[in-house]
Amino acid sequence: MPGPQAPPSLVPAVPSVPVPSQGKPKESYENHMRNGNNLILVKAYPAAAAHFQLALVELPGDPVARKKQSYANHMHQGTIWMTAKSYQSAATQFRLALIDQPGDLEAMNLLRKTGR
C-alpha cells in the first residue's frame, strides 16, 4: 500500500525538460527563448541554459541565445560557489555573467554579497 502523499500545493514544481522541436524552427527558437527567459526569472539557471542550447540548435550561432546561455551557466556556477562559501570563485562567475548581461541586477546583487 503506498504511503501518504503531499498535497499538490506542497509538491514543488519541476521545470519541464526541454525537447528538440518537431515543428517550425523559428517558432521553436522563440518558444525556447521565452521559456529560458522565464526560467531565469525564477533562478532555474540549468533549465534556462538547456532551453537556450535548444534555441541555438534551431538558430545556430545566434548571439542572443549564446549570451543568454552563457549568462545562465555563469549564474548557476556562481550560486554553487556561493553555497560552498568560495566567494572569490563566485565573484568571478558573477562578473562573467555581467559581461553577458551588463547591468543585470541579480548578478550585481550576488556579486555584492561575495564581498569581492
- pTM of the predicted structure, to 2 decimals: 0.79
First to last CA, the chain: 54
Longest Cα separation, the chain = 54
With cut-offs at 50, 70 and 90, classify the pLDDT of residue 18. Answer: low
Q: For residues 39 and 65, what is the distance between their CA atoms, to the nearest angstrom?
A: 14
By three-state DSSP, how is residue 52 classified?
Answer: helix
What is the per-residue pLDDT for 113? 96
Instruction: Answer yes or no: are the C-beta atoms of 36 and 55 closer than 8 Å.
Output: yes
What is the per-residue pLDDT for 95? 98
What is the per-residue pLDDT for 24? 80
> For 75-102, how does the pLDDT look when each residue is reduced to its tens digit (9 = 90+)?
999 999 999 999 999 999 999 999 999 9
> For 21-75, how does the pLDDT look when each residue is reduced to its tens digit (9 = 90+)?
566 878 999 999 999 999 999 999 999 999 999 999 999 999 999 999 999 999 9
Q: Which domains does the chain have, with CATH numbers?
A: 23-114 (1.25.40)
